[in-house]
Structure 1
Amino acid sequence: MDILNHLDFATAFRELSPELGQGLLIALEATLGGFLLAVILSVLIAVGRLSNSKIIRGILVVILEIVRGTPLLVQLVYMFYVAPLLISLVVQFMIPGYQFQLNPLLAGILGLGINYGCYLSEVVRASILSIDKGQTEAALALGYTHRQALWSIVIPQATRQAIPVFGNYLIMMIKDTSLLAFITVNELLLRTQAYASQTFLTIESYTILAIAYLILSLPLSQVVRLLEKRLSTHV
């Protein structure tokens, strides 16, 4: 009871809310940028996995195994700290003294996009394979090339089928933006950590942060469920 008497949620909420608001904008920016990149990559990877080229398929399988076999946090740290050093070393052969730097937020967007793009590619690939081959054959009979049939007929339908799953991954990405704090992106978690260390309102600060993430994710979860129901009625 003594602990409860010393809690000051009102003060923490009043002082932390502006910081969380700014952190939320950064988290949403990272989510939107990362997810857009993930969707684009997922389609390209899925199409590549279905190509006739063994080399392309082999390269993509190796990339997928590396990404899926390492933690997202390690990938983000590698993207922010190691990748710029490697790029600098390569470019220095042509431009001595060159130093490449990567903006923390951009590194986070790239890391999230690549990671989620690899996972979403399996969703897109499965959706493509689920489309009736008769539609492709009909398109070819009408004069479409294989590429035109794929991008004009198959991909749009496959993407529509994958939308509910994409929604679930979007919610996961919003929560995973908290990992960007480890590469100095000043999002929700990093701002909360800074406030808690200054005020010692640790319980209040992290409780408010958890509630903020719930407020973000729960409405989106409901939207995804509605999409699933609506799309299932049109199958």
Structure 2
Amino acid sequence: MNTLMQLHFGQAAELLVPSLMHGFGVVIQATILGFLLATIIGMIIAIGRLSSLKIIKGILYVFLEIIRGTPLLVQLVYIYYVVPLLINLLASLFGYKVDMQIAPLTAGILGLGVNYGCYMSEVIRGAIVAVDSGQTEAALVLGFGKYQALFRIVIPQALRSIIPSLGNYLVMMVKDTSLLAYVAVNELLLRTQSFASQTFFTIESYTYLALAYLVISIPLSHLVKFIEYKLKTNRR
């Protein structure tokens, strides 16, 4: 009881919440850009894996195994710390002297995009394969080219069926933005850690942090469910 009396949720809210509001902007920016990048990467990988060229399928298979076999946090750290060093080393081999650096938020967006893009590619590929092959055959008969049929007939139908799955990935990405704190992105977690270490309002700080993520993720989850419901209703 004495411990509870020593908590200062009001004071912590007055000092921390304004900072968290700024962190919201970083989370939203990282999520939107990361998700757009993931969708593009996922689409490219999905189409590439449906290619008849074995070398392309082989390269993409190895890439997928590497990304899916390593944690997102490790990938973020690798992109932020190691990739610039590799680029500098490669440039020096060709006689160029560069000092390549990647901004923390850029590294975070790239990490989220690549990681989620690999997982989303399997969902997209499965949806494309699930579209009735008769759709493609009919498009070819009507004079469409192979890729015209793919992009104008097959993919729109495939994307419609996986919108709920992509929405779930979006919710997951919001929560995974907390990992960007480890590459110095000043998002919600890093702001909270800094505040807690300065004020020692540990319980209060991390309670507000959890509430902040709930404020984002719960409405977003319900929005995804609503979209899924509307899509099911429209199909009937």
Query: What is the TM-score of this pair, normalised by structure 2?
Result: 0.98
Q: Residue 138 of structure 2 corresponds to which residue in structure 1?
A: 138
Q: Residue 209 of structure 1 corresponds to which residue in structure 2?
A: 209
Q: Residue 94 of structure 1 corresponds to which residue in structure 2?
A: 94
Q: Residue 174 of structure 1 corresponds to which residue in structure 2?
A: 174
How far residue 149 of structure 1 moved from its aligned partner, in angstroms, is 0.1
Judge which range, 189-198 or 87-96, deviates more: 87-96
Q: Residue 73 of structure 2 corresponds to which residue in structure 1?
A: 73
Q: CA RMSD in A?
A: 0.8
Aligned pairs for 1:30-49 (under 5 A) are: 30-49=30-49
How far residue 23 of structure 1 moved from its aligned partner, in angstroms, is 0.9
Q: Residue 114 of structure 2 corresponds to which residue in structure 1?
A: 114
Letter in 2 for 1:188: L
How far residue 233 of structure 1 moved from its aligned partner, in angstroms, is 2.4
Q: Residue 57 of structure 1 corresponds to which residue in structure 2?
A: 57
> C-alpha distance in 2, partners of 1:226/1:22?
28
How far residue 162 of structure 1 moved from its aligned partner, in angstroms, is 1.1
Answering whether residue 6 of structure 2 is matched by residue 6 of structure 1, we say yes
5+ residue gaps, structure 1, are none
How far residue 94 of structure 1 moved from its aligned partner, in angstroms, is 3.0
- What do residues 70-105 of structure 1 show as CA deviations (whole Å, max 9, x unaligned)? 000000000000000000000112344321111010
- What do residues 28-66 of structure 1 show as CA deviations (whole Å, max 9, x unaligned)? 111111100000011111000111011111110100110
Aligned to 2:144, the other structure's residue is in SS state: coil
> C-alpha distance in 1, partners of 2:152/2:121?
18
> C-alpha distance in 1, partners of 2:95/2:25?
37
Letter in 2 for 1:166: L
Letter in 2 for 1:10: G
Q: Residue 29 of structure 1 corresponds to which residue in structure 2?
A: 29
Letter in 2 for 1:62: V
- What do residues 187-231 of structure 1 show as CA deviations (whole Å, max 9, x unaligned)? 000000000000000000000000010010000111111111111
> C-alpha distance in 1, partners of 2:95/2:82?
19
> C-alpha distance in 2, partners of 1:233/1:129?
24
Letter in 2 for 1:154: V
Aligned to 1:233, the other structure's residue is in SS state: helix
Query: What is the TM-score of this pair, normalised by structure 1?
Result: 0.98
Letter in 1 for 2:175: K
Letter in 1 for 2:180: L
5+ residue gaps, structure 2, are none
Answering whether residue 193 of structure 2 is matched by residue 193 of structure 1, we say yes
> C-alpha distance in 2, partners of 1:102/1:39?
22
> C-alpha distance in 1, partners of 2:104/2:128?
35
Answering whether residue 229 of structure 2 is matched by residue 229 of structure 1, we say yes
Q: Residue 104 of structure 2 corresponds to which residue in structure 1?
A: 104
> C-alpha distance in 1, partners of 2:43/2:177?
23
